[in-house]
């Protein structure tokens, strides 16, 4: 198995030379909001080697910042020792920061990461205030969400983000 990291500049060159097939492994709502033109969409949670596009081109996987992309590369490469796959360093954030084009949705989405931040912040605040004003046991609400945030930071996996991504307001027709 061969996993390599690729820079935004190298990816742009490969795209210009029609040498690459892009795969976005972010959640559907994230991909719907904006993505790199002509990229396939295969969310990290469900990606398999068999789902990758059948192509003779180089396969580059990307996410928002690069961590999920790396995990996706490892996941699919672990089942195919011959596979050569690339992860975009810095993800689509680095692509956009370099001033390169993305295809944006006409419909504006509230970004998934901000929905998660609002949810966690709300429950931490409610738990803390509730423990002072209502019942001291409500401090465990804040502790639960704090522990979840710690786990997400250490593991790179956020169960709350997966749950929020499945909410009706995050579905597109």
Task: Specify the CATH number for the domain of residue 60.
Answer: 3.40.250.10
Give me the tens of pLDDT residue by residue for the chain, a chain 173 residues long.
Answer: 589 999 999 999 999 999 999 999 998 888 888 899 999 999 988 898 888 888 889 999 999 999 999 999 999 988 887 888 999 999 999 999 999 999 987 776 677 888 899 999 999 999 999 999 999 999 999 999 999 999 988 887 788 988 888 888 877 64
Residues 123 and 47 in one domain: no
H-assigned helices in 7-138: 8-16, 28-33, 67-77, 91-97, 112-133
- The pLDDT assigned to 172 comes to 60
Helix (H) or strand (E) holding 58: strand 58-62
- Please list the active-site residues: 63
Residues 23 and 89 in one domain: yes
CB 143 within 8 A of CB 131: no
- The pLDDT assigned to 136 comes to 95
Residues 90 and 48 in one domain: yes
Domain containing 130 equals 112-170
CB 42 within 8 A of CB 52: yes
CB 3 within 8 A of CB 85: yes
Domain's final residue, options 79, 104, 129: 104
CB 29 within 8 A of CB 43: no
Alpha carbon distance 55, 21 (integer Å): 8
Residues 29 and 98 in one domain: yes
Domain's final residue, options 81, 104, 127: 104
């Amino acid at each position: 198995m061969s996993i390599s990291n690729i820079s935004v500049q190298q990816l742009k060159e490969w795209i210009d030379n029609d040498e690459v097939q892009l795969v976005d492994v972010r959640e559907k709502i994230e991909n719907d909001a904006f993505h790199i033109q002509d990229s396939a969409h295969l969310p990290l949670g469900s990606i398999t080697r068999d789902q990758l596009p059948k192509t003779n081109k180089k396969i580059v996987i990307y996410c928002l910042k690069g961590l999920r992309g790396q995990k996706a590369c490892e996941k699919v490469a672990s089942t195919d020792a011959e596979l050569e796959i690339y992860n975009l360093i810095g993800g689509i954030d680095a692509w956009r920061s370099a001033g390169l084009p993305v295809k944006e949705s006409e419909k504006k989405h509230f970004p998934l990461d901000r929905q998660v931040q609002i949810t966690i912040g709300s429950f931490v605040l409610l738990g803390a205030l509730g423990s002072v004003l209502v019942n001291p046991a409500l401090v465990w609400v804040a502790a639960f969400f704090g522990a979840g945030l710690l786990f997400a930071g250490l593991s790179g996996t956020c169960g709350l983000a997966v749950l929020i991504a499945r909410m009706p307001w995050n579905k597109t027709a």
